[in-house]
Amino acid sequence: MDLFGDLPEPSSGNPTNSSASLYDSIPASSNTSSLSLYDDLPTQSTPAKSTNIPSLVPSMKRKSEGTPCVIEKKLKSVKYEIDSYLAERQGEREDMQDAHIIIQDFTSEIPDLHPEIYRVSLYGVFDGHGGIRASRFASQNLHKNLRDKFPKGGIDIVERDIKKLFIDAFKKTDDDFLKQATKVKPVWKDGTTAILVLIINENMYIANIGDSQAVLCRVKDSTTECSAVPLSVPHNPSIYEERMRIQKQGGHVKDGRVMGVLEVSRSIGDGQYKKLGVTCTPDVKKCSLTDNDRYVIIACDGLWKCFEPSDSIKFVNKIVEENKDKDVRVGKNVKNNKYDIACNQLANEAVLRFSGDNVTVLLLAIRKCR
């Protein structure tokens, strides 16, 4: 099984109950429209990052939920609870150009959600460059476009259309920002990377553009050893497929940058580079949660400049082990202080290692429901 399993490309055909037979595999870093099978990532691990958010409680406002009995049933359907922890550091930069989004209960914002879907949560990090406007705009609007275009129907239809959902939502966010950017003088030249982790029931769907990354910490079978499983592929102009796309559209790559300036080959914004091969089309991956999963680290390149994924896992695990007795039970819930501490120390360490960039770390602690 390939390390990265791209989700199928969007199809305009009629809905079917099973999509697995419809698609052929495509390279993980490809930006083409070819089709691929649903592949879970292998049973290995990758790191994560932290923010303290209340546990998921579905809203009673949704039409499809009906009575409190239905809500109770959906709560009991969740196999793995997610606690999020956030750490942000401005670092050596003059201003903070990162942004993030944490929506623990996204179900309450999606109208007429099918009863088969009992949980939708959304987490994301946006690494701005050239200003704060693009990252802030994306953090305020991308989730709305996901909500408005969310597939109608059961889980089979959602899985069939999930890649199209991300592609359409990213494109609309990019189009809307560029329209706004061109209405002012001088024209805004801001851009931003984006990485989203959308959790539907017990599956994670990861969509990214740019060099922000997500890593999962997963315990290997039959051992207590943790490994780092990358959940995303960073997009930089030096990657062959990215460079070929840029060159075919009239751009060039110099010193690892588009036109010798832009460090990423995919982004929201950056209007001046869109005709030169820089695209807002995300890579989309799927990973099913398992009993061996411990946490996910979602972070901008301010962290990854000075941490390899495996190093970040080791660092977080060491802090978690040192603070394993600091969890606090509040009613039926457990406040994982150890992950909060680990998330903040990870961000601090990036600054101490002279990252030289803004650092945003979002850690998703995964807890099996008893």
Burial class for 21, CB neighbours closer than 10 Å (0-12, 13-18, 19+): exposed
pLDDT of residue 50: 35
Mean pLDDT of 259-279: 97
pLDDT of residue 235: 97
Band the pLDDT of 248: cuts 50, 70, 90: very high
pLDDT of 370 over the 90 cut: no
* Contact status, residue 106 vs residue 94, Cβ threshold 8 Å: no
pLDDT of residue 72: 53
Supply 322's token pair.
Answer: 């040192």
pLDDT tens across 28-51, in order?
333 333 333 334 444 333 333 333
pLDDT of residue 59: 34
Partner residues linked to 195 by β-bridges: 125, 208
pLDDT tens across 158-168, in order?
999 999 999 99
Triad 233, 244, 356: Cα angle to 5°:
50
* Cβ atoms within 10 Å of 343's Cβ, excluding its own: 30
Mean pLDDT of 304-317: 96
**Lowest pLDDT segment from 21-25, 28-32, 35-39, 259-263:** 21-25
What integer best gives the mean pLDDT of the chain?
83
pLDDT of residue 84: 96
Burial 278-290 (b: 16+ CB within 10 A, else e): bbbbbbbbbbebb
**Lowest pLDDT segment from 64-68, 111-115, 125-129, 324-328:** 64-68
**147, 312, 370 from 172: Cα distances, Å:** 12, 34, 41
- In 3D space, the residue among 244, 256, 155, 145 whose CA is nearest the CA of residue 199 turns out to be 155
pLDDT of residue 17: 35
User: CA 282: distance to chain centroid?
Assistant: 10
Looking at residue 144, what DSSP letter applies? Answer: H
Task: Name all domains of the chain by residue range, CATH numbers in brackets.
Answer: 20-234+285-368 (3.60.40.10)
pLDDT of residue 221: 81
pTM of the shown model: 0.81
The CA distance from 59 to 152, in Å, is 19
pLDDT tens across 102-143, in order?
999 999 999 999 999 999 999 999 999 999 999 999 999 999
Partner residues linked to 226 by β-bridges: 219
The CA distance from 103 to 124, in Å, is 9
pLDDT tens across 191-230, in order?
999 999 999 999 999 999 999 999 999 998 877 889 999 9
Looking at residue 238, what DSSP letter applies? Answer: T
Burial class for 10, CB neighbours closer than 10 Å (0-12, 13-18, 19+): middle
Band the pLDDT of 284: cuts 50, 70, 90: very high
Is there a cis peptide before residue 186, judged by omega within 30 degrees of 0? yes
pLDDT of residue 76: 67
pLDDT of residue 272: 96
pLDDT of residue 337: 86
pLDDT of residue 88: 97
Supply 107's token pair.
Answer: 């179900």
